[in-house]
Structure 1
């Protein structure tokens, strides 16, 4: 897996009244552990992957068998269990002996509230939903922006290929859903010209996410560029027909008809 440049460590952001934590664990990007603002050295993709797998379980036991598969897939060496015990021992040495508990056939990590960046991301997404339902879209947009700020690159970026294959897609789906929701809120706020450039980039990167494509069509329409919005649909329909012999999804077709008829209400 291609190594990513590590970004400088940043302080943990908190809202007023939140409890200060000494440890931070980061998996929304390169896998990192941070103690009191200082990076904890994690030696190699296997050690990072064991830690990430335990963090994703949030205190539940992860079996030895699953950890072995996340390190070596279906072809573990004869010494796999011994090597796994060594990785766990190394983690205890740098994180503290009480951080990782042993079970009969597995391990679990002790994780306190606010220590994992994934949980902070999800907390902000949930807060945005509450604000949106309360009719406070500007604050909801800010909360979604704060949620997305927790991402430092592709999730689990420097773990084993087996770990990223097993876990990264679900995390990426959560990130993209948050992006789509923030775009929807910004469109509701009338930020149509401001989001066009970002939506063009997102559609190019994620062509099969039709919600983003529909949002681009809406942003163009409300910016006085309805013809360009219709062109987005026309080009996508032609591409799908040529490559897969299918039509765009129902919601995108409905939006296309609304643009043609001048019946767009949002």
Structure 2
């Protein structure tokens, strides 16, 4: 008799297959075989055969199955194999007639050969054990006993594959290890021992960048999906692979020339205020968040210039174009730029993001350097670019509240509001000159408020005044009152407009978010509640609250309190410009109605 469960269940006598009739007969026999020599209670058999509610006749059906199975085995020449005991059944066969027992015996032999220092013989024994497999254990069968046993047996197969790979590494059979370890990782993406074996084999083959990519991919899966860091063994493999790379890269003049990058853009002229935020940003890696035009980049760059002496090893800068008409900068592209700026030649820049990240962080590990990641569109775009050394600092700017960076990377979150009226006056005076402001101080005050105290709007207005010395502040105020968005633009530079800056945020919204944003133009006040917006749109408050929260995370509106929000005056004007005709019609108004752009709500 031969009983095979390393694949579909197969029973044969002297080379002839025993046909097991019925749906539950094979599962019944498999439940006994995986517990060979032990009694399996009828209760466990019933729960295996009927995973849901068993029928009232379940026990009787088990008795019939057992009786039929016993007769079949006796006719095949195996009398007394299946026996009834108190409360259950037991199958008594020579364990060596079951393929999984043969597998375990060969695995024990192979391990003994490894311990004796005979890896070649051990690999042969492991191979002999794995040849017994014809597919997934007990494939095609279902039930609690069978499923549990199959999982346990499959795990034993994976362990044997890993042990064989260890022996193959000793023999220098790296390609074989690469193939088997990759197959294991396809089955179980979180399998750290397989990942370590694959990394070691790739490293020995001279494919170290690929080995580092494997570590990065496995680590990302563990952290993102399980919230776990790699274990000590895998971290040790990573270190053993990375250290030679770091040492060779840093010390070999043919691959790297140590450079001190100075990539910060020019400091914003006439920068004013923000003293409290400048102090807050200086306490650690920070994420500066705010609406378009509020001065996020100016704050980050100004802080960098103020504290250049704290970073003698340089300053790196990249515009990630998270909000831009062009394609965003990928992490791999940004890493390549940084590595070149740090002195790595083109031929030595790794192609994969994980290996590039590993090299980038190793180069920064002992350096005091500032990294400015401007205009980020997502946390995923930023994570590979964050330095890990204690002397390195990152400043990130974004229109989105990238809470994942705060939660996982411990980045400090800093919200940026418009300037105060006094700061706005100082900025405008510094740009256009005190004499022009003194000529019409009332118009200057009005201009500041019409610009919403946004630095970008103030700088655009100042540029128009500087470009036309004959233009009086009062005339510019009149133009702003007529159409603020149109007046806050610079002729010949389509990107130097407030509307362009706002549009980049608007385009990132989903259609439901855009629709609600446009409808905010119908409100009579800049301050509003969830209930007011819900009453206007006819949507449930829960749906409305969720959409408003999404707009707030995109910094198109700001939260004022529980269930209360506010939209900036200029952002509200932008919502007016985007208001589609269908939104007005849906509100019950017409374009000729004097209320067509405002709806007063309690």
What's the TM-score bracket when you normalise by the shorter of the two chains? 0.7 to 0.9
Q: Distance in 1 between matches of 2:215 and 2:63?
A: 54
Q: Distance in 1 between matches of 2:42 and 2:185?
A: 40
Computing the radius of gyration from Cα coordinates, the structure with the larger value is: 2
**Offset at residue 83 of structure 1 (A):** 0.7
The equivalent position to 2:238 in structure 1, one of 249, 252, 256, is: 256
**Offset at residue 253 of structure 1 (A):** 1.1
Matched residue of 2:184: which SS?
helix
The equivalent position to 1:32 in structure 2, one of 2, 7, 10, is: 10
* RMSD between superposed Cα atoms in Å: 1.6
Q: Distance in 2 between matches of 1:162 and 1:30?
A: 17
Aligned to 1:55: 33
The aligned runs of 1:177-216 (5 Å cut-off) are: 177-216=159-198
Q: Distance in 2 between matches of 1:124 and 1:199?
A: 21
Q: Distance in 1 between matches of 2:142 and 2:209?
A: 46
- CA gap of 1:201–1:60, structure 2 versus 1, over 3 A, is closer
- CA gap of 1:242–1:56, structure 2 versus 1, over 3 A, is closer
Structure 2 stretches of 5 or more lacking a match? 246-602
**Offset at residue 189 of structure 1 (A):** 1.1
Q: CA contact under 8 A between 1:73 and 1:162: conserved in structure 2?
A: yes
The aligned runs of 1:115-134 (5 Å cut-off) are: 115-134=97-116
- CA gap of 1:87–1:195, structure 2 versus 1, over 3 A, is same
Q: CA contact under 8 A between 2:158 and 2:184: conserved in structure 1?
A: no
Q: Distance in 2 between matches of 1:194 and 1:174?
A: 20
Q: CA contact under 8 A between 2:122 and 2:167: conserved in structure 1?
A: yes
Higher relative contact order (CA closer than 8 Å, sequence separation 6+): 1
Q: Distance in 1 between matches of 2:222 and 2:140?
A: 34
The aligned runs of 1:142-153 (5 Å cut-off) are: 142-153=124-135
Matched residue of 2:90: which SS?
strand
Aligned to 1:164: 146
1:98-139 Cα shifts (integer Å, max 9, x gaps): 111111211111211421111000000011011111111111
- CA gap of 1:115–1:226, structure 2 versus 1, over 3 A, is same
**Offset at residue 92 of structure 1 (A):** 1.2
Aligned to 1:138: 120
The equivalent position to 1:154 in structure 2, one of 120, 132, 136, is: 136
The equivalent position to 1:84 in structure 2, one of 58, 62, 67, is: 62
Matched residue of 2:97: which SS?
coil
Q: CA contact under 8 A between 2:190 and 2:218: conserved in structure 1?
A: no
Aligned to 1:220: 202
The equivalent position to 1:42 in structure 2, one of 20, 42, 47, is: 20
- 1:241 paired to 2:191: no
Q: CA contact under 8 A between 1:32 and 1:42: conserved in structure 2?
A: no
**Offset at residue 198 of structure 1 (A):** 3.0
Q: CA contact under 8 A between 2:50 and 2:143: conserved in structure 1?
A: no
Matched residue of 1:152: which SS?
coil
**Offset at residue 62 of structure 1 (A):** 1.1
Q: Distance in 2 between matches of 1:166 and 1:92?
A: 25
**Offset at residue 52 of structure 1 (A):** 1.2
TM-score (norm 1): 0.85
Matched residue of 2:239: which SS?
helix
- 1:93 paired to 2:71: yes
Q: Distance in 2 between matches of 1:51 and 1:244?
A: 37
Q: CA contact under 8 A between 2:3 and 2:12: conserved in structure 1?
A: yes
Q: CA contact under 8 A between 2:31 and 2:146: conserved in structure 1?
A: no
Q: Distance in 2 between matches of 1:144 and 1:45?
A: 35
The aligned runs of 1:15-30 (5 Å cut-off) are: 23-30=1-8
**Offset at residue 250 of structure 1 (A):** 1.6
Deviates more, 1:96-105 or 1:155-164: 155-164
1:206-232 Cα shifts (integer Å, max 9, x gaps): 111110001000000000111211111
**Offset at residue 205 of structure 1 (A):** 2.0
Deviates more, 1:193-202 or 1:98-107: 193-202
Q: Distance in 2 between matches of 1:66 and 1:74?
A: 13
Q: CA contact under 8 A between 2:106 and 2:129: conserved in structure 1?
A: yes
Q: CA contact under 8 A between 1:49 and 1:163: conserved in structure 2?
A: no
The equivalent position to 2:89 in structure 1, one of 84, 104, 107, is: 107
Structure 1 stretches of 5 or more lacking a match? 1-22
- CA gap of 1:172–1:194, structure 2 versus 1, over 3 A, is closer
